[in-house]
Amino acid sequence: MWKALQAKAIKVSKERVRKLMKAYGIQARGKRKFVVTTDSKHNLPIAGLYIAAGALLCL
């Protein structure tokens, strides 16, 4: 919000914006949690087709 005000040439400090946001009950959006999408600790065999393709790329 502070950057948006700065872009509109409104001079205001970060602390003032923080206090106003708190007074009006406005909260900043938090960062998204990193989601793990790969399970590399499984006991399944590695697909041979992908290994062969990787070997060809390494040549």
The neighbour count for residue 22, using CB atoms within 10 Å, is 10
For range 20-45, the mean pLDDT: 85
Residue 12 lies in a domain: yes
The mean of the pLDDT values for the chain is: 79
Lowest mean pLDDT among 9-13, 15-19, 41-45: 41-45
Is 46 domain-assigned?
Answer: no
Q: Would you state the pLDDT for residue 25? A: 92
Residue 4 in domain: yes
Q: What pLDDT, on the 0 to 100 scale, is given for residue 47?
A: 67
In a domain, 9, yes or no: yes
Query: Please, what's the b/e burial string for 25-50 (b: 16 or more CB within 10 A of its CB; e: otherwise)?
Result: eeeeeeeeeeeeeeeeeeeeeeeeee
Confidence tier at 22 by pLDDT (50, 70, 90): very high
CA 51 to chain centroid:
31
Please indicate, yes or no, if residue 55 is contained in any of the structural domains.
no
Q: Which domain holds residue 18?
A: 1-27
